[in-house]
Structure 1
Amino acid sequence: MNEADGLRQRRPLRPQVVTDDGQVPEAKDGSSFSGRVFRVTFLMLAVSLTVPLLGAVMLLDSPIDPQPLSFKEPPLLLGVLQPNTKLRQAERLFDNQLIGPESIANIGDVMFTGTADGRIVKLENGAVETIARFGSGPCKTPEDEPACGRPLGIRAGPNGTLFVADAYKGLFEVDPWKREVKSLLSSDTPVEGRKLSFVNDLTVTRDGRKIYFTDSSSRWQRRDYLLLFMEGTADGRLLEYDTETGEVKVLLDQLRFPNGVQLSPAEDFVLVAETTMARIRRFYVSGLMKGGADLFVENLPGFPDNIRPSGSGGYWVGMAIIRPNPGFSVLDFLSERPYIKRMIFKLFSQETIMKLVPRYSLALELSDSGAFLRSLHDPNGQVAAYVSEVHELDGHLYLGSFRSPFLCKLSLRSV
């Protein structure tokens, strides 16, 4: 064999193709295989952990048993309801000297409120003075409330006294000058076979004879107000108490979180906010319609709290949560999906959920027939947070709050 034949029979070497990362194809194929193995292993591990976790969550008891609720599309936030920042012009009063001043009353120029630490306080000349307590205890957390008491609705009576609704203790009359406390109706007293678990707000006739008040639930207490709201329990009542006879009557039953109440100027009907349903109902206490009830206003732009008179002859309604339109109303969405509510409350505490609920303060003025007259807003609750009540006095609005450590004061001239 000559040299030329040897060259022809010698098999040429295949050139080695080098990839961009400097690896030969065999190495690249190995890396892909390893990646697939890793992904499959990770997926199997994730499934093996997630499935038992979901199973465990499904087995957990939910503290609420909500039923589906249907709402109309919220009113458009246009015209009278057009968002603004007018509440941000408010001045904060007694900052960090009050805890949750839910409701406000005045006798002359002196104002009074109840606080989350169980006190009734007088607000005069820039000072906060305790005048009454209905309970005792450390009063530092919601868990202390049953022993400590939680004053909510407060009204001035005809004889220079205050009428107070305490969520846990019942109805009281307080002489703020003598610092005397008189129990009118204890929460331990059953009314038509059911206990008063969440006494909320009250309104009083001019002669002081009748008190109309709400018991928000026979099942839930005030410290569980978010559970009551999200469950939509229909066991709240509007009641009447006679200060002379001590007689108690149930006027309306099966309400979903009845909250603020307000007598009409003619004292012929009582308005009651049905918070969960974003509406205000009306019950007639005198006249041709006595004993009857109807809707005063429905499909409100938010969830109503207390109702108080306005200088125009209408009513102020405080709201801490709105139903944005245009926009997405989370609470409307959840109301029709109770299974999501159950899951949420299996995983998170009330306090955690409250932090996730968008804050939006709204003071809405209604006419004497329930028409929207004007609205004052604080998007995100930057200044006036968690508004529970709008109390009009001498050309100013005083804004109560169920959580904030202050009151707010707003001049009506500026809005």
Structure 2
Amino acid sequence: MKEAEGLRQRRPQQPQVVSDESRDAETKHVSAYSGKVFRITLTTLIVTLLAPFLVATLLLQSPINPEPFSYKEPLLLTGPLEPNLKLRQAERLFEGKLIGPESIAHLGGEVEMLVSAQKIIQGRRMAFVNDLSITQDGRKIYFTDSSSKWQRRDNQYLVMEGTADGRLMEYDMITKQVEVLMDDLRFANGVQLSPAEDYVLVSETTMARIRRYHISGLRKGGHDIFFDNLPGLPDNIRPSSSGGYWVGMAVLRPNPGFSMMDFLAPRPWLKNLIFKLFSKEMTMKFVPKYGLVLELNEDGSIRRSFHDPHGVVVPAVSEAAEHDGYLYLGSIYSSFLCRLNLNKV
């Protein structure tokens, strides 16, 4: 081949013309590819995060069988319920030396079993014998059987399930007989006789209220609501020197604010999901700490309240017991007692 022919066969490359249209097409292609990668990544992430929840929902068993119920709107924290810092004036006693000191009592003498927890009463056993109050003559003992299903260590399950199997009982020291005074209570808890011993109060913890059972007088055998829609879940009830009652609040129902108890009450499916994914110990970590004690008048009105927002000194209150000018505070979630000088608040 001659050099001239070789040169004639080499065709010069055509110059590439770059226009706005070609740039737009390339940009659209890159954008479409990036969008596809983003969608795949996002979908993978969502599936990865939701997979445990889906597996838990389908395969795991919930330890509770919750019933739906609802509360009234919580009382506004105003007036005698106005938040304050009075509980922060309390001092801690025996810190680190106690395990869940719920109640304060003076014990002495011999211990005698009066009623066995294995005893079947009206077709049900007593799985969670809780609080008691004794008449001055020592003949009658009023006590609560919180549940025939759940035991004390499972109290969170009892609250969240809303089981209505709590009872108020009466034990006669002479006849040795047990009588059921009230049934179908949602977590029957604290018990306290009135100063005149004409009625007995009982905390219905899950329902945030206090019930009253009349044991003498014209209304004997009847019962009613002593205080409804408390600003928290009531625990034990103890007499105050003013003639009223101290009530420890185990959990706050804030208003204004978000109340987890009020939100979950009508949503049993959500309670099931929570307890499928988390242990009862873990769920307690989501409960805000807040110390609250109420003093109620004899007619059931609120006389005053002591608070510790965020539970700095008193994280929760199961019982408030007055003695010699001091208020002693116990809680099943604490490792100490607290003592508040009432003369200084």
TM-score with structure 2 setting the length: 0.90
Which structure would you say has the larger Rg? 2
Shift of 1:68: 1.5
- The correspondence for 1:333, drawn from 244, 263, 266, is 263
- What amino acid does structure 2 have at the position aligned with 1:235? D
Aligned residue for 2:308, secondary structure, equals strand
Q: Given the superposition, is the C-alpha separation of residues 327 and 49 from structure 1 closer, same or farther in structure 2, using an over 3 Å criterion?
A: closer
CA contact (8 A) 1:303 1:322 kept: yes
Aligned residue for 2:77, secondary structure, equals coil
- What amino acid does structure 2 have at the position aligned with 1:339? W
Alignment of 1:289-300 (within 5 A): 289-300=219-230
Measured in 2, the distance between the counterparts of 1:72 and 1:338 equals 18
- Residue 355 in 1 paired to residue 317 in 2? no
Quote the residue 1:67 is aligned against.
Answer: 67
Shift of 1:183: 1.1
- What amino acid does structure 2 have at the position aligned with 1:393? H
Alignment of 1:77-116 (within 5 A): 77-105=77-105, 112=106
Measured in 2, the distance between the counterparts of 1:287 and 1:369 equals 17
Measured in 2, the distance between the counterparts of 1:85 and 1:16 equals 73
Aligned residue for 1:67, secondary structure, equals coil
CA contact (8 A) 1:320 1:385 kept: no
- Residue 194 in 1 paired to residue 127 in 2? no
Shift of 1:41: 2.3
CA contact (8 A) 2:128 2:150 kept: yes
Measured in 2, the distance between the counterparts of 1:245 and 1:205 equals 15
Could you tell which deviates more after superposition, 52-61 or 359-368? 52-61
- The correspondence for 1:249, drawn from 176, 179, 191, is 179
User: Deviations along 1:354-402, whole A, 9 cap, x unmatched?
Assistant: 0111111111000001000000001111101221111011111010111
Shift of 1:40: 3.1
- What amino acid does structure 2 have at the position aligned with 1:85? L
Shift of 1:16: 8.4
User: Deviations along 1:28-50, whole A, 9 cap, x unmatched?
Assistant: 55542431231232244346546
CA contact (8 A) 1:297 1:370 kept: yes
- What amino acid does structure 1 have at the position aligned with 2:204? E
Quote the residue 2:196 is aligned against.
Answer: 266
> Aligned-pair RMSD on alpha carbons?
2.1
Measured in 2, the distance between the counterparts of 1:240 and 1:342 equals 35
Aligned residue for 2:238, secondary structure, equals strand
Instruction: Return the structure number with greater strand share.
Output: 1
Quote the residue 1:324 is aligned against.
Answer: 254
Measured in 2, the distance between the counterparts of 1:320 and 1:86 equals 17
Could you tell which deviates more after superposition, 205-214 or 32-41? 32-41
CA contact (8 A) 2:292 2:316 kept: no
Quote the residue 2:33 is aligned against.
Answer: 34
TM-score with structure 1 setting the length: 0.75
- The correspondence for 2:245, drawn from 315, 323, 326, is 315
Quote the residue 1:58 is aligned against.
Answer: 57
Quote the residue 1:109 is aligned against.
Answer: none
Measured in 1, the distance between the counterparts of 2:75 and 2:277 equals 32
Measured in 1, the distance between the counterparts of 2:99 and 2:251 equals 20
